């Protein structure tokens, strides 16, 4: 039998490794930024074109590389960070496995320019698909510049799996923010298609957070600090009233490395218990310092997951620190049964001598001035007094025995509250009339548990999920409005001013045209502010921020069962936010209108998220259940 096991060629092995390390342009950004930080750079510039498809370039002023190091940096498992297996458990650097540059070079065109301090000239290397095309000296500044062009040029299938430019840019911004938040002592700049998105100078942690998420963030932050033998905790939490329903502002850093840790996230959420609005999530920027020997960061290719030696102790300490901070800054209510707060001495009266109270007496006061003394009879020594206007009090009771209809409670009128308008306007549609009984004068639909609409049909009965049905109706309506560009908009007397981070505003800028086609009127008068002067006719002013927050979340997470276009994502998100919810009571007219509109849709059987909108039960099926 012939041998069947063979060694893979280097270029194939590099492409396989690239599948783990380089998943999208954002992966390249993360690896290159971390290499610049390890090189001791104090200023890092990131240039991106076409959301990373065409170019990802990182320029730093670090210590640079020699000619030999520049060549070896593209070999697999070539690293300066570790010499033995024991070094894996005492890491203080970002990269250490030596796979990043080799994996990137296997699936892209890479151009490297680098020069060390004291050298007159640097080194320039060009690589295409793991093949070195040229290596020569060049004139360049101290530090390193790596340009990654035409990502996945030799793997078309991987390139086709990339999302739209807006989605890929969002991932790049996320990686940039994570690295920038962890290293406030380094200046960062981000440019996309020659336009500046971020310019972050050297600052402290609070200034860096404000620089990333906008000036309005400063008033939302509450500091958290705790030092123990196990872990040092530093950072900020966001006040509960500013919490969001998205996961956007949840950051954990361990030894200046961004991580995802559901267990620690639960610790912070537990500290906020009872303080957050319904379905809102706690926002935080928590920096943890632990002994490198007590964690293992080599358990995931992207190094965003770590294993702590004593997770339970860190969980307890973190929850206690957050609770202490909430109480210290009067965010959480404090109950102290040992003293009464109203017994505390006001600050303005401290260190003052007590004054003896003085009593003023009106010696001319005579309570009997209004009474006249009456002569007493000869046989009685008890005095009698007669009051003036003695009958005055009796006048208060005049008329009680009269039946005055004007003052009777039998004619008491109570002002009624105005009736709320129907959810749907009255509109006739023929989409469902053929299925309904035509010889019944009673109601055609009924609501079950404020969730399902029951309707009789010729063959039996139909159960309609009101939320999914309304999602389908709104989804097709928004798609039609965006495509035809004809929508009804109601202008606001006082425009709404909503605060968002630069990254979130970039998403709205990209969606601006589609949002305007649905009825929104948007503008961005200043940094960090989105002004809404018009909204769709089917939405209330109080729901605008909820709809836009849901839209941000769906765009960032690409919506479950994501669509094929930006329009589809927008229509799905708005339909999900604005549809009637389970538990809402609908009157008969609203139910009839919803049923008619549903069966006028092009695809009434499924919601936009591919869930059934209704089921039918025939009379035969009901008979079998009774006769079983």
**How big is the CA angle at 175 (ends 498 and 127), to the nearest 5 degrees?**
140
pLDDT score of 386 more than 60: no
pLDDT value for 168: 87
In angstroms, the Cα distances linking 542 to 124, 467, 496, 570 are 58, 20, 10, 20
Position 413 confidence tier, pLDDT thresholds 50, 70, 90: low
Position 42 confidence tier, pLDDT thresholds 50, 70, 90: very high
pLDDT value for 437: 41
pLDDT value for 348: 61
- % residues pLDDT > 70 (the chain): 76
Compare 18 and 293 and report the one with higher pLDDT: 293
Where do the DSSP E strands lie in 281-352?
Answer: 284-289, 295-296, 307-308
Structure token pair of residue 378? 């000869």
DSSP state for residue 210 in the 8-state scheme = H
Position 295 confidence tier, pLDDT thresholds 50, 70, 90: confident
SS3 per-residue string spanning 504-523:
HHHHHHHHHHHHHHHCCEEE
Domains and CATH numbers, the chain: 10-200 (3.30.565.10), 206-328 (3.30.230.10), 433-617 (3.30.1370.100)
d(CA 604, CA 473): 8
Between 124-128, 198-202, 257-261, 335-339, the lowest mean confidence (pLDDT) is in 335-339
DSSP state for residue 244 in the 8-state scheme = B
Element (H, E) at 191: strand 187-192
Predicted TM-score (pTM) of this structure: 0.68
- % residues pLDDT > 90 (the chain): 28
User: What single string gives the DSSP state of each residue in 442-459?
Assistant: S-SEEEETTTEEEEEETT
Residue 503 CA to chain centroid, in angstroms? Answer: 12
Rounded to 5 degrees, what are φ and ψ at 325? -65, -40
Answer yes or no: are the C-beta atoms of 201 and 181 closer than 8 Å: no
pLDDT value for 136: 93
pLDDT in tens, 225-283: 999 999 999 999 999 888 877 666 889 999 888 988 889 989 999 998 888 877 788 89
d(CA 412, CA 234): 64
In angstroms, the Cα distances linking 338 to 143, 330, 343, 350 are 63, 19, 12, 22
Half-sphere exposure of residue 381: CA atoms within 13 angstroms, side-chain side:
0
pLDDT value for 436: 42
pLDDT in tens, 115-144: 998 899 999 999 998 888 999 999 999 999
pLDDT value for 377: 46
Answer yes or no: are the C-beta atoms of 205 and 224 closer than 8 Å: no
pLDDT score of 435 more than 50: no
Dihedral of alpha carbons 569, 574, 579, 583, sign: positive
In angstroms, the Cα distances linking 19 to 16, 27, 102 are 5, 11, 12
pLDDT score of 25 more than 70: yes
User: Average pLDDT of the chain?
Assistant: 80
d(CA 26, CA 168): 7
pLDDT in tens, 347-364: 566 667 777 888 888 888
pLDDT value for 571: 86
d(CA 74, CA 54): 21
Closest to 56 (Cα-Cα) out of 208, 158, 175, 219: 175
What is the average pLDDT across 573-581?
87
Structure token pair of residue 447? 């609501």
Collect all residues with Cβ–Cβ distance below 8 Å to 335 and sequence separation of at least 6.
none
pLDDT score of 560 more than 70: no
Q: Please report, to the nearest 10 degrees, the dihedral formed by the alpha carbons of residues 201, 203, 209, 214 taken in order.
A: -50
d(CA 622, CA 80): 74
DSSP state for residue 413 in the 8-state scheme = -
d(CA 170, CA 188): 17
pLDDT value for 86: 57
pLDDT in tens, 144-187: 999 999 998 888 888 888 887 877 888 899 899 999 999 999 99
In angstroms, the Cα distances linking 521 to 474, 514, 547 are 19, 11, 14
pLDDT in tens, 448-458: 888 999 988 88
Answer yes or no: are the C-beta atoms of 572 and 609 closer than 8 Å: yes
pLDDT score of 217 more than 80: yes
**Tokens 């959420």, residue?**
269
Q: From edge to edge, which strands make up the β-sheet containing 529-536?
A: 489-499, 529-536, 521-523
Long-range contacts of 201-204 (CB under 8 A, 24+ apart): 202/42
Answer yes or no: are the C-beta atoms of 530 and 500 closer than 8 Å: yes
């Amino acid at each position: 039998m012939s041998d069947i096991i063979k060694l893979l060629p280097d270029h194939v092995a590099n492409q396989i490794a690239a599948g783990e390390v380089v998943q999208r342009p954002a992966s390249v950004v993360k690896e290159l930024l971390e290499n610049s930080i390890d090189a001791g750079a104090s200023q890092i510039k990131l240039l991106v074109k076409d959301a990373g498809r065409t170019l990802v370039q990182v320029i730093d002023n670090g210590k640079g590389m020699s000619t030999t190091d520049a060549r070896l940096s593209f070999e697999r498992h070539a690293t300066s960070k570790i010499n033995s297996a024991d070094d894996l458990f005492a890491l203080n650097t970002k990269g250490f496995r030596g796979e990043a540059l080799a994996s990137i070079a296997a699936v892209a065109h890479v151009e490297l320019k680098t020069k060390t301090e004291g050298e007159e000239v640097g080194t320039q290397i060009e690589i295409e698909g793991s093949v070195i095309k040229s290596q020569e000296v060049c004139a360049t500044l101290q530090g390193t510049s790596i340009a990654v062009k035409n990502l996945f040029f030799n793997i078309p299938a991987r390139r086709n799996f990339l999302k739209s430019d807006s989605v890929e840019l969002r991932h790049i911004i996320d990686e940039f923010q994570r690295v920038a938040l962890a290293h406030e002592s380094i200046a960062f700049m981000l440019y996309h298609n020659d336009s500046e998105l971020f310019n972050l100078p050297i600052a402290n942690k609070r200034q860096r957070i404000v620089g990333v998420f906008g000036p309005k963030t400063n008033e939302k932050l509450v500091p958290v600090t705790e030092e123990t033998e196990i872990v040092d905790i530093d950072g900020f939490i966001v006040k509960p009233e500013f919490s969001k329903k998205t996961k956007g502002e949840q950051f954990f850093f361990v030894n200046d490395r961004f991580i995802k840790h559901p267990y620690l996230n639960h610790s912070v959420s537990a500290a906020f218990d009872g303080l957050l609005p319904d379905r809102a999530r706690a926002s935080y920027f928590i920096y943890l310092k632990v002994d490198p020997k007590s964690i293992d960061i080599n358990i995931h290719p992207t190094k965003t997951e770590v294993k702590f030696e004593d997770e339970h102790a860190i969980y307890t300490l973190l929850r206690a620190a957050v609770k202490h901070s909430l109480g210290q800054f009067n965010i959480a209510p404090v109950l102290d049964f040992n003293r009464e707060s109203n017994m505390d001495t006001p600050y303005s009266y401290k260190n003052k001598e007590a004054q003896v109270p003085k009593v003023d007496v009106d010696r001319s006061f005579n309570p009997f001035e209004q009474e006249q003394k009456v002569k007493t009879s000869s046989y009685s020594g008890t005095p009698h007094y007669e009051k003036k206007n003695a009958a005055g009090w009796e006048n208060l009771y005049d008329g009680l025995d009269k039946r005055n209809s004007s003052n009777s409670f039998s004619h008491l009128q109570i002002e009624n509250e105005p009736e709320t308008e129907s959810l749907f306007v009255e509109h006739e549609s023929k989409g469902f009339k053929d299925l309904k009984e035509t010889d019944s004068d009673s109601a055609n639909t009924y609501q079950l548990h404020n969730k399902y609409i029951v309707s009789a049909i010729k063959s039996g009965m139909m159960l309609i999920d009101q939320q999914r049905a309304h999602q389908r109706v709104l989804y097709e309506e928004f798609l039609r409005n965006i495509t035809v560009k004809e929508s009804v908009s109601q202008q606001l007397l006082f425009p709404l001013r909503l605060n968002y981070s630069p990254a979130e505003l970039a998403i709205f800028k990209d969606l601006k045209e589609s949002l305007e086609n649905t009825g929104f009127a948007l503008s961005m008068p200043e940094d960090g502010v989105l002004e809404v002067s018009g909204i769709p006719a089917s939405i209330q002013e109080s729901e605008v921020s909820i709809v836009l927050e849901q839209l941000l979340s769906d765009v960032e997470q690409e919506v479950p069962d994501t669509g094929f276009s930006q329009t589809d994502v927008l229509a799905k998100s708005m339909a999900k936010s604005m549809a009637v919810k389970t538990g809402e009571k609908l009157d008969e007219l609203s139910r009839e209108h919803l049923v008619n509109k549903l069966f006028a849709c092009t695809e009434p059987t499924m919601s936009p998220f591919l869930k059934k909108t209704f089921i039918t039960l025939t009379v035969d099926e009901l008979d079998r259940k009774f006769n079983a």
